Amino acid sequence: MIIDGKDVVESALPLTLFGGTIRKVPTKGRKQLHEIRLTNGLLIVVKATRHFMSVTFNGDISVLAHSTGLLGEYRTGDMIGRDGNVMDDFNEFALEWQFRGGEIDGMSLFRTPRAPQWPEKCRMPTTSQKKQRRLRAQDTQLYTAASEACAKLHPDDVDTCVDDVLLTGDIEMADSW
């Protein structure tokens, strides 16, 4: 893991970060889980499973009241572009918030930069990838398994969890929620 441009071995966790602490939580399978507890009591949970990542916030979220970015406007869920306007297209919103390293002293978000890098736009799924996803979505056995694996979640999250499992064909995706 890299923090502030420096390699940090996980055995060094927990460590102090921005006045709070970051620690790795033991997990099973391919899921990685890190918790960042800020001094105001806000807990940020970062989960990563394969190529998917989720970020959740627990506690006093008032510190997020004026945040912007790929997470959207926290209280309403509105997708707000860099210019402050509300967007309604998921793909355009994602491209709007593509990391622009040159804007931040040339820093790179990743250890090894790879294409596409801004100003080149991120690549959207190809037709064959979309076809594979549709075929997996027609797999009733996978759908049943996904529904069972996602049933433990908050009702608002179940459909999205099932979609993630169907899109990847990987039942372990349900553990990333």
pLDDT by residue (tens digit) across 23-50?
A: 888 887 777 888 988 888 889 898 887 7
pLDDT digits (tens, 9 = 90+) for 66-99: 777 777 787 788 888 888 899 998 888 888 888 7
Based on the fold, state whether residues 11 and 58 are members of the same structural domain.
yes
Check residue 150 and give its pLDDT: 94
Residue 94, strand partner residues:
none
Check residue 41 and give its pLDDT: 81
- The domain of 154 spans 125-177
How many domains would you assign to the chain?
A: 3
Based on the fold, state whether residues 129 and 175 are members of the same structural domain.
yes
Which of 106, 123, 140 terminates a domain? The answer is 123
Do the domain assignments include residue 70? no
Which of 64, 94, 112 terminates a domain? The answer is 64
Based on the fold, state whether residues 3 and 60 are members of the same structural domain.
yes
Based on the fold, state whether residues 59 and 85 are members of the same structural domain.
no
Based on the fold, state whether residues 2 and 59 are members of the same structural domain.
yes
Check residue 162 and give its pLDDT: 86
Q: How many residues are there in the chain?
A: 177
pLDDT digits (tens, 9 = 90+) for 104-159: 555 566 667 777 777 778 877 666 665 566 666 677 888 889 999 999 998 888 88
Based on the fold, state whether residues 93 and 130 are members of the same structural domain.
no
Kindly report the three-state secondary structure assignment for every residue of the chain.
Answer: CEECCEECCHHHCCEEECCEEEEEECCCCCEEEEEEECCCCCEEEEEEECCEEEEEEECCHHHHCCCCCCCCCCCCCCEECCCCCEECCHHHHHHHCCCCHHHCCCCCCCCCCCCCCCCCCCCCCCHHHHHHHHHHHCCHHHHHHHHHHHCCCCHHHHHHHHHHHHHHCCHHHHHHC
Check residue 126 and give its pLDDT: 64
Check residue 67 and give its pLDDT: 74
